[in-house]
Amino acid sequence: MIENKPAGFWIRFLAIFIDSLFVSLLTWLVAALITGEVEQLQQTQQQTETNAEELSSSIYSVFFIILFTASRFKGSPGKMICKIQVTNEDGSTISILKSLGRYFAYILSALILMIGFMMAGWTERKRALHDYICQTVVTYRDQ
C-alpha cells in the first residue's frame, strides 16, 4: 500500500479557517431564517450569539465535522477544499464513533494552549494530539 503524504499544520489550519467561514455563514443563515431579522443581524453582528446561532453552530459541528469525516468524504468541507482527508492509520474511513471521539479530543488539543494542534507541525507523521488519541492520520488525498 502506498501511503499518502501527511498533511501538516498550515494546510490543516487553512482547512479549519475555511470551516469557520462555513459555520459563520451557516450560523447567520439559520439565525436569519429562524428569527426573520436579517437586517438586525447585519447591524448587530458584535452582540452575543442568539439561541438560533448556537443551535446552528451545534448543527454544523455535528453534521459537517463528525458525519462528513466518517463518510466517504473523509473530512469537513474545509478539508475537502484543501484536498486533505482524515483516515484510520491503515487508510480506511473512520467510524462515526471514532469521528465523535476525535471531535471531543479536539478539546484536549485546545486545553493545553493549542499545543495539541501545533503537534501537527512537529511530529514526523504530522499528527496532532487528537490524531494520537483516536489513532487517525490526516493526509493529502490521492491526486
> Which three three-digit cell numbers place residue 118?
501545533
Q: Tell me: the pLDDT tens digits for 26-58? A: 777 877 777 766 555 555 554 545 566 666 667
pLDDT at residue 31 in the model = 72
Is residue 1 pLDDT above 70, yes or no?
no
pLDDT at residue 46 in the model = 46
Residue 72 — φ and ψ, nearest 5°?
-65, -15
pLDDT at residue 50 in the model = 59
Q: What pTM does this model have?
A: 0.81
Is residue 85 pLDDT above 90, yes or no?
yes
Q: Tell me: the pLDDT tens digits for 88-130? A: 999 999 999 999 999 899 889 999 899 999 999 999 999 999 9
Cα torsion 1, 137, 135, 129 to 10°: value is: 150
pLDDT at residue 64 in the model = 76
Domain ranges in the chain are 9-140
How many Cα atoms are found within 13 Å in the side-chain-facing hemisphere of 90? 3
The whole-angstrom separation of Cα 120 and Cα 55 is 30
DSSP string of 91-112, one letter each residue = SPPPPHHHHHHHHHHHHHHHHT
DSSP code for 65: I
